[in-house]
């Protein structure tokens, strides 16, 4: 779920910590939809920005009519085996914006295809993709760029393409809802850290008040390869975490294809009859 334009921190918390964070702005994650709906039955929508369902095998029916309009993310663990479970959650879309989060692992392309056929927007969690995951990502990119029946956004590809098209890219940290300095991950034991791939990095490692873009500049400064990278503005050093020696050639190839697609789109629109 996209972080709204708020300046106060947003905490991703497990359901059991809801009472402790009731005065904070939060996203709540849980495996049990019935427990989510019961615990958050009267949650203030100003404070609760959305929920994440961590178990796709769970029956999400209790969430169907709960808090209409509340964003829900479905977190997929293993795309190869879990993609059929998406069929059980389509009714959530009657009352909620729903997005599926899929890790770049074997089965990614098939899972994305099913999610899009069911009209779910998708956010790929790319990790630091190895050769097999890069092949899956390339297949998804082909699907996203070339199949005219794809009507839902596939992040991070979608934001990157738009950023390149308008020459105003957002660093992936922001496009992927992992904005350091704004978002915080709270572990089951209550330990707070930075979000997403920065999980485990203590918030005090970088200046808490520096602001998201300043944080990204600090992250970039710790990855020398990024200084000369042609995709520094669209990526923001995202793929150099957590392993700083990650070889970016594969992800740079995907960025190159997105850049070519943005140029092609611009050319097509420039030459289209008015």
**What CA–CA distance (Å, rounded) separates 33 from 231?**
40
Q: Give helix 249-271 / helix 157-165 axis angle, nearest 10°.
A: 50
**Considering beta carbons, is residue 1 or 219 the nearer one to ligand SF4?**
219
Kindly state the tokens that stand for 227. Answer: 């200084």
**Considering beta carbons, is residue 248 or 258 the nearer one to ligand SF4?**
248
C-alpha distances in angstroms, 30 versus 58, 204, 272? 10, 27, 48
**Considering beta carbons, is residue 11 or 239 the nearer one to ligand SF4?**
239
Query: Residues interacting with ligand SF4, by CB under 6 A?
Result: 223, 225-226, 229, 231-232, 235, 237-240, 248, 251-252
Calculate Rg over the CA atoms of the chain: 19
Kindly state the tokens that stand for 212. Answer: 């998201």
**Considering beta carbons, is residue 1 or 229 the nearer one to ligand SF4?**
229
What distance lies between CA 185 and its chain's CA centroid?
A: 14
**What CA–CA distance (Å, rounded) separates 111 from 10?**
29
**What CA–CA distance (Å, rounded) separates 16 from 11?**
13
CB atoms within 10 A of CB 144: 21
**Considering beta carbons, is residue 72 or 235 the nearer one to ligand SF4?**
235
**Considering beta carbons, is residue 79 or 250 the nearer one to ligand SF4?**
250
Kindly state the tokens that stand for 20. Answer: 């402790």
Minimum gap (Å) between residue 222 Cβ and ligand SF4: 11
**What CA–CA distance (Å, rounded) separates 217 from 114?**
37
Minimum gap (Å) between residue 208 Cβ and ligand SF4: 23
**Considering beta carbons, is residue 37 or 229 the nearer one to ligand SF4?**
229
- Strands lying side by side in the sheet with 154-155: 154-155, 122-125, 98-103, 72-75, 48-53, 25-30, 10-14, 183-186, 192-193
Do residues 187 and 155 make contact, with C-beta atoms less than 8 angstroms apart? no
């Amino acid at each position: 779920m996209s972080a709204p334009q708020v300046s106060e921190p947003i905490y991703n918390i497990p359901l059991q910590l809801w009472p402790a964070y009731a005065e904070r702005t939060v996203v709540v994650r849980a495996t049990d939809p019935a427990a989510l709906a019961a615990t958050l039955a009267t949650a203030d929508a100003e404070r609760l920005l959305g929920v994440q369902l961590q178990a796709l095998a769970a029956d999400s029916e209790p969430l169907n009519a709960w808090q209409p309009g509340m964003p829900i993310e479905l977190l997929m663990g293993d795309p190869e085996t879990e993609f059929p479970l998406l069929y059980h959650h389509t009714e959530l879309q009657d009352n909620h914006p729903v997005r599926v989060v899929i890790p770049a692992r074997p089965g990614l392309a098939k899972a994305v295809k099913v999610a899009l056929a069911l009209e779910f927007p998708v956010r790929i969690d790319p990790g630091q993709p190895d050769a097999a995951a890069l092949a899956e990502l390339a297949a998804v990119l082909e699907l996203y760029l070339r199949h005219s029946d794809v009507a839902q956004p596939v992040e991070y590809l979608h934001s990157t393409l738009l950023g390149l098209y308008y020459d105003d890219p957002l660093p992936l940290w922001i496009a992927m809802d992992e904005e350091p300095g704004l978002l915080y991950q709270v572990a089951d034991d209550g330990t707070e850290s930075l979000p997403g791939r920065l999980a485990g990095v203590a918030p005090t490692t970088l200046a808490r008040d520096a602001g998201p873009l300043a944080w990204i500049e600090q992250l970039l400064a710790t990855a020398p390869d990024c200084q000369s990278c042609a995709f520094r503005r669209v990526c923001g050093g995202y793929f150099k975490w957590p392993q700083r020696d990650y070889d970016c050639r594969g992800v740079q190839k995907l960025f190159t294809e997105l850049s070519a697609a943005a140029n092609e789109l611009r050319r097509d629109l420039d030459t289209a009859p008015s």
